[in-house]
Amino acid sequence: MNHRTQETIERLETADWFCAVGRNDTENATILSSWKEAIESCASEEWQDLLLEAKNQYTEKLVRISKERFNQWNIIGRELKAVTIPLVSRKLQPVMDREKLPKIFEDTVNWDILNLAMEAEYADVYPPGFFTSQGYWYIKGHFPCGWQGSFPEGKLIIY
């Protein structure tokens, strides 16, 4: 794990995830008002497709720039999962227990955080993008969970 990735993980570790859910503290996103709405949004086929497309676009750019580095993707991914999965579990357990949140919530957050770490790991090849912006919202205490409009036009949906 490189220095950028370690710093990213440390910022995530010290942040108070979900402390600002539902708080109207930005004009840069559409803010939902309940966990029910947030789960419906994050579980939507459109949002799940957008998350997959964001990862695919990033990896396509990596392949074009450095096939040699891209060929390490799965190895690095396994190494990072050993760090990101326990991190996500620690951060999610209190809110999942309190709010009785479904597995799709945990799966979505694991996907976001792993891909955020992957973007940090490959930042020397291609600049971080979509998942790094997702990380911003986790650190600010929100849950990024959807998109309003046609991507990339439109607005992020957060809780």
Domains of the chain by residue range = 3-19+30-158
Largest CA distance in the chain: 45
pTM above 0.85, yes or no: yes
Q: Which residues 6+ apart lie within 8 Å of 70 measured at CB?
A: 59, 62, 63
Q: What is the pLDDT along the chain (159 residues), one digit of tens a residue?
A: 999 999 999 999 999 999 999 999 999 999 999 999 999 999 999 999 999 999 999 999 999 999 999 999 999 999 999 999 999 999 999 999 999 999 999 999 999 999 999 999 999 999 999 999 999 999 999 999 999 999 989 999 999
